[in-house]
Amino acid sequence: MELGAFSVSLTVRDLDASSDFYEKLGFTECGGDRDKNWLMMRNGSAVIGLFLDMFGDNILTFNPGWDQSARNLDNFTDIREIQKKLKKEGIELLEETDENGRGPASISVVDPDGNMILFDQHR
């Protein structure tokens, strides 16, 4: 099961201070919208999202259908297949999608330590 591109979505108190800090660590802005309070930053294959006032805790994020540079993949595991596999494995989903749907969708789970994991398919 291919989960897609991986990033860590960080909830931040000050978008400018956080982006400045991560720039000093070698990250560069690679997407997002400051006016909408979010940025994506990259350092090599490491990707982080900085999100102001969008959610309460940090989130591990997987994007089925994308590679680590957010380029579309020709072959990938659709999010509905990931959902079926997780359910089969006995993993409780916090948020589900229509198994008969197509295209963009998201699902989420919480790991045994309370960490949120988001699977967010954009295509």
Q: What is the largest CA-CA distance in the chain?
A: 45
**Residues 30-86: pLDDT tens digits?**
999 999 999 999 999 999 999 999 999 999 999 999 999 889 999 999 999 999 999
Q: In what order do the strands lie in the sheet with 93-95?
A: 28-33, 38-43, 46-52, 5-12, 59-63, 116-121, 105-110, 93-95
Does the pTM surpass 0.75? The reply is: yes
CATH number of the domain at 5-121, out of 3.10.180.10, 1.10.3720.10, 3.20.20.70, 3.40.50.300?
A: 3.10.180.10
List the chain domain ranges. 5-121
